[in-house]
Amino acid sequence: MTSEPVRSWLVLRAVRGLEDASVCRLVRAFGSAAAVLSAPVDELMQRGELSAGVARAIREGLPPPVLKDIDRELKQLDRLRVSILTYLDEAYPARLKQIADPPPVLYVTGALTDADRHAVAVVGSRQATPAGRLFAEELSRDLASAGFTIVSGLARGADGAAHRGALAAGGRTLAVLGCGIDRQYPPEHRALREEIEAHGAVLAELPIGSYPHGYHFPRRNRIISGLSLGVVVTEAALESGSLITARLAADQGREVFAVPGFVNSQTSRGPHALIKQGAKLVERAEDVIEELLPQLDAAFRERLAARPAARTATPPTLGQDEAAVYAVLTTEPIHIDDVIARSGMPAPHVAGLLLSLELKNMIRQLPGQSYLRL
């Protein structure tokens, strides 16, 4: 981990005024980060398409305090057992390498595999509705069951639901952070992160110790879309990070998908705007799979074709009282007190009916004794 080649990458990345795209262009031209650091100014300007000021900054090197920070970071990476992938590594994600400004360095916990070539990003609002979280989870579960890796941002709301859905299917999932790989954000997703690391990977581009500042997340989103064949936006306001991810996906030549919702909901306005702009409308996993088929390799398409045909489940038989309680419920959460009031039945009887419906997988209980239809 403390090898000189990795140190050269961290030094090069820290040069003031040198953008990610320029770093990658330089290492392609010179063959290594170390070769870039020792190249003459005129060659840096010519082959790297750099200004004289940036080329001189590379040759002059970093101030001693910055070099000490880099050496300290390398020691921390050893201690934390964090892997580093550089742009020239064979294991660096091939699809991410194709975008205009790939991160020169990726910090990784867990492991990337060849299966992650078939990835779909599922993103949405941090203030996702219960129905939106449920759909993100079910969509991700179904896509993961079909063999796709689910990519998201480990944020509250839809992102967390997407990761959980993939894990519930026994599939792979990748989380991209907007902070240093050593930081846990949000803190309540620590256990979820550990599951992701055991069945996928957590990635970051920022140096160790970087805080989750708001301005980090739009940059983070280009990695989410860059890793993926397409991006599904489940719920989002018109001004949201999820729509930034969708725009980046379109710029990168990725497919953009959107999930329709209730017309008066603020979290539906983003997906509806995307659909108006040509995004593929998504109601189920097959809508995503059908659109991505031309991009999949032959072996993956054969595995998809060999899947057992989905059978329409026979709805469970409901008693008269069960049917009456079920009719009260919708895809929006309703508190048990309201269910009791609307059904006109005694509270203990309604509680038993709700439990019966939950066991039949027709409804789900949410925190705070609220229920919604599945």
Report domain extents, the chain. 4-79, 114-305, 320-373
Q: Considering the domain delimited by 320-373, tell me its CATH architecture.
A: Orthogonal Bundle (1.10)
Q: pLDDT (tens digit, 0 to 9) for every residue of the chain, 374 residues total?
A: 444 589 999 999 999 999 999 999 999 999 999 999 999 999 999 999 999 999 999 999 999 999 999 999 999 998 888 999 999 999 999 999 999 999 999 999 999 999 999 999 999 999 998 889 999 999 999 999 999 999 999 999 999 999 999 999 999 999 999 999 999 999 999 999 999 999 999 999 999 999 999 989 999 999 999 999 999 999 999 989 999 999 999 999 999 999 998 888 889 999 999 999 999 999 999 999 999 999 999 999 998 988 776 555 567 888 899 899 999 888 778 899 999 999 999 999 989 899 999 888 888 888 788 888 87
Amino acid 183: pLDDT: 95
Amino acid (1-letter code) at residue 157: G
Amino acid 2: pLDDT: 41
Which residues touch 280 (CB under 8 Å, ≥6 apart)? 255, 256, 257, 258, 287, 288, 291
Annotation: CATH topology of 114-305? Rossmann fold (3.40.50)
- Identify the CA nearest to 234 among candidates 317, 316, 131: 131
Amino acid 1: pLDDT: 42
301 three-class SS? helix
**Distances from the Cα of 293 to the Cα of 100, 117, 374, angstroms:** 24, 14, 28
Which residues touch 150 (CB under 8 Å, ≥6 apart)? 119, 120, 121, 122, 140, 143, 144, 162, 163, 165, 166, 171, 172, 173, 174
Could you check whether 114-305 and 320-373 share the same CATH topology? Answer: no
Amino acid 4: pLDDT: 58
Amino acid (1-letter code) at residue 259: V
H or E segment to which residue 141 belongs: helix 130-145
Amino acid 97: pLDDT: 96
Instruction: Give me the residue label for tokens 């005129």.
Output: 42
Amino acid 309: pLDDT: 62
Amino acid 248: pLDDT: 96
Q: Structure pTM?
A: 0.86
H or E segment to which residue 211 belongs: none
CA distance 119 to 171: 11
Amino acid 314: pLDDT: 65
Amino acid 374: pLDDT: 74
| Strand partners of residue 121 | 151, 231
